[in-house]
Amino acid sequence: MVDKAPPRRAVAKATSEEELAGFLLRPDMCRKDLTEIVAGFDQDGNESRSAVVVERPLTLFLNGQEIVTMMTISDYPDFLAVGYLLNQNMLQPDDKIEAIDYDDDLETVVVRTNRQTDFEEKLKKKTLTSGCAQGTVFGDIMEKLEEVKLISSNRLKTTDLFALLRKINGTPSLYLEAGAIHGCALCKGNQPLVYMEDVGRHNAVDKIAGYMHLNSIEPDDKVFFTTGRLTSEMVIKTVSMGIPVLISRSGFTAWGVELACQTGLTLIGRAKGKRFTVLSGQERIEFDHLEEVTNES
């Protein structure tokens, strides 16, 4: 068996210490319980060791009602629980959270509020989405989406977009360590603020939603980045959080684009290096990199 640890995935350019200092929260690479080393063999039949992500079940309760069991890396169960409930419209922005109790041994998290609500009917009416680990959107979310129209005069400069992509791609993460995981980032201007990862991209989104709610972060001037596809679920969750711009290095689904156009969300996909495609809300994009190209020529 090989004794040395597996090498981390290479990145084109590591994010500087100064840029990392701008994060409010990012993957904690000092935690050893999020990955484990597994012995195996390579393509030549030689013994090898690989870092793999550890996923665990987490059952969420709202007061006395069991809501859902999720597969997650369980690094921020409090943010995940609150964000999930907010994005499913089970928790209202003005609800007072009295306690969040996490039991690692029982693999449960309980959110306690000052308002008792029966969600049995809501739990029966749900739509399975295309999210990893089988995401779920409850019926009334789809209905309320018809009334939503994102209003934000905040503009995204293309030079800021390119800088964001470079910083996010160079940030130490579980993806670079072991792969098999999705990442999402809450950003402002050219700076990523909160970077979350999980085995399902919808979990990473919900963690950021929970962090925003518990820390009273306003969404109007923010940008959301995801490593996953721009599906209907990603659009719904971003719109539910009130964030006007959604970016991914991956592609689109037709329903995701339709919902983005309907709600006024700026939808940017296939964003890699200095290339991207915007299929909705292009009025928020300021193509300032073209001025730099003109000045250089």
- Over the stretch 251-264, which tens digit does the pLDDT of each residue have? 999 999 999 999 99
Mean pLDDT computed over 229-253: 95
CATH number, domain of 72, equals 3.10.20.10
Residue 74 within any structural domain of the chain: yes
What is the radius of gyration, based on Cα positions, of the chain? 20
The pLDDT score that the predictor gives to residue 6 is: 43
pLDDT band for position 140 (50/70/90)? low
CA distances from 255 to 87, 116, 234, 258, 268 (A): 19, 35, 11, 5, 15
Backbone φ, ψ for residue 294 (5° rounding): -65, -40
Looking at the structure, do residues 137 and 165 belong to the same domain, yes or no?
no
Strands (E), the chain: 35-41, 47-53, 56-62, 65-72, 97-103, 108-113, 126-128, 136-138, 156-157, 182-188, 191-198, 223-226, 245-248, 266-272, 275-280, 285-286
Domain boundary among 143, 165, 196: 143
pTM: 0.86
Mean pLDDT computed over 57-68: 93
Domain boundary among 143, 174, 194: 143
Q: Strand 191-198: give its sheet, edge to edge.
A: 191-198, 182-188, 223-226, 245-248, 266-272, 275-280
What's at 143, amino acid-wise?
E
CA 30 and chain centroid, separation: 21
Tokens matching residue 8: 């981390």
Mean pLDDT computed over 218-223: 96
The pLDDT score that the predictor gives to residue 115 is: 80
Domain count, the chain: 2
Give yes or no for a contact between 83 and 213, defined as CB atoms under 8 angstroms apart.
yes
Looking at the structure, do residues 137 and 179 belong to the same domain, yes or no?
no
Looking at the structure, do residues 76 and 191 belong to the same domain, yes or no?
no
Mean pLDDT computed over 124-137: 49
The pLDDT score that the predictor gives to residue 19 is: 77
Please say if the pLDDT value at position 81 is more than 90.
yes
With residue 120 as reference, give the H or E element that holds it: helix 120-124
Mean pLDDT computed over 72-81: 96
Residue 45 within any structural domain of the chain: no
Residue 35 within any structural domain of the chain: no
Looking at the structure, do residues 163 and 288 belong to the same domain, yes or no?
yes
CATH number, domain of 168, equals 3.40.140.10
Looking at the structure, do residues 131 and 179 belong to the same domain, yes or no?
no
Cα dihedral sign, 13-229-183-216: positive
Looking at the structure, do residues 134 and 206 belong to the same domain, yes or no?
no
Please say if the pLDDT value at position 223 is more than 50.
yes
pLDDT band for position 184 (50/70/90)? very high
More confident residue, 296 or 80: 80
Looking at the structure, do residues 163 and 97 belong to the same domain, yes or no?
no
Residue 138 within any structural domain of the chain: yes
Q: Which residue range forms the structural domain that includes residue 135?
A: 56-143
Looking at the structure, do residues 160 and 290 belong to the same domain, yes or no?
yes
Looking at the structure, do residues 207 and 290 belong to the same domain, yes or no?
yes
What's at 155, amino acid-wise?
R
Residue 256 within any structural domain of the chain: yes
CA 3 and chain centroid, separation: 35
Please say if the pLDDT value at position 234 is more than 80.
yes
What is the overall mean pLDDT for the chain? Answer: 87
Looking at the structure, do residues 283 and 172 belong to the same domain, yes or no?
yes
Looking at the structure, do residues 210 and 260 belong to the same domain, yes or no?
yes
Looking at the structure, do residues 275 and 183 belong to the same domain, yes or no?
yes
Phi-psi bin for 174: left (phi > 0), alpha (psi -120 to 50), beta?
alpha
